[in-house]
Structure 1
Amino acid sequence: MPASLAAQRPLILGSTSRYRRELLARLRVPFTVSAPEVDETPQPDEAPRALALRLAHAKAQAVAAQHPQALVIGSDQVADLAGQPLGKPGTHERAVAQLRRMRGRTVLFQTAVAVVCAATGFAQTELATVEVRFRMLSDDEIERYLRAEQPYDCAGSAKSEGLGIALLDAIVSDDPTALVGLPLIHTCRLLRAAGLTLP
């Protein structure tokens, strides 16, 4: 497909995440946002990596079905602690429990991104895995951090782009935005493969 045609296709972010919206805006390509209607319940014995890949693809497909001419980006992130998925805590109490489980341990953040265009049949998904090593946090440190930043809408209960960086010993990644929720290096690669010209 000629790049000029792909460039004219609407670009849609299939996500309600403000973090993903802010990240995608860095590419300076016009886009709109559409909420995907996808059940995010893990399947029995589904590994965090497989869950992230499946949900990213499902979100992109769901929005693409409603906007067949558009290029649609879907993404999902699952925090993986020894093979067990950790979701968004939602409450202070669950965030405390998550951080207590993660202190002194390494957590893998599996961040998947999919790009789908129903009109052309393009559909590809990639995974960016980020290794995050948490410090041995005291209960007081956990409480102070959560009261200060309230990261209850973040998988793993910490925002590395904010004060949460102080909770960590190390981050190992080949895509620095993956931990925030949208791996832009992978996203750019998929968009170029779909024929979009990026600045």
Structure 2
Amino acid sequence: MLKLGLTGSIGMGKSTVAAMFADEGVPVFDADAAVHRLQGPAGKVVAAIEARFPGTTGAGGVNRTALAEAVLGDDAAMKALERIVHPAVGLERAEFLEIHASAPLVAFDIPLLFETNGEKSVDKVAIVSATADVQRARTLARPGMSEAKFAAILARQTPDAEKRARADFVIPTDVPLDETRGHVRRVIACLLAREGG
């Protein structure tokens, strides 16, 4: 089995590209979706997050806005949150690998792949990328997003140019969707050809 790490900064279109991989039959582990499940109603990490960050959870699980306010810009708080969440995501990832053990290729949709040294646990890395103007416009169009929040998120992410330089594949999303899908198909074909010999 080949493990592909799929990453990209906020607003780059990574979720769209992950869906394209899934459409092509590649099992995709979505780290963000796993975090949402773990932090949702009766989620496995809700009690630990409430204990460390009082007032950030409720009947619906973690209040993501309140939690973001508690950790953004505070490295110690962010590290404390990661110590709660990352091991739980690791267990979900192991379960995913067990379920898809016979797949020749799987993809791991991991926003902070390079930031967490996650590239060491995959065979190849594909980055989803767009111009800075496109990224900014997409991100600021999100509900609840502000210039300050965008800047704080970007500050925690490896710059796009560095990610592009470190990745094995670059998948552009500031082009027509069909073109992006063509890049996805070429990445898959390339990886499966290598796997086949």
Q: Return the TM-score normalized by structure 2.
A: 0.30
Q: Which has the higher helix share?
A: 2
Q: Return the TM-score normalized by structure 1.
A: 0.30
Q: Which has the higher strand share?
A: 1
Q: Tell me: higher relative CO, structure 1 or 2? Use CA pairs within 8 A at least 6 residues apart.
A: 2
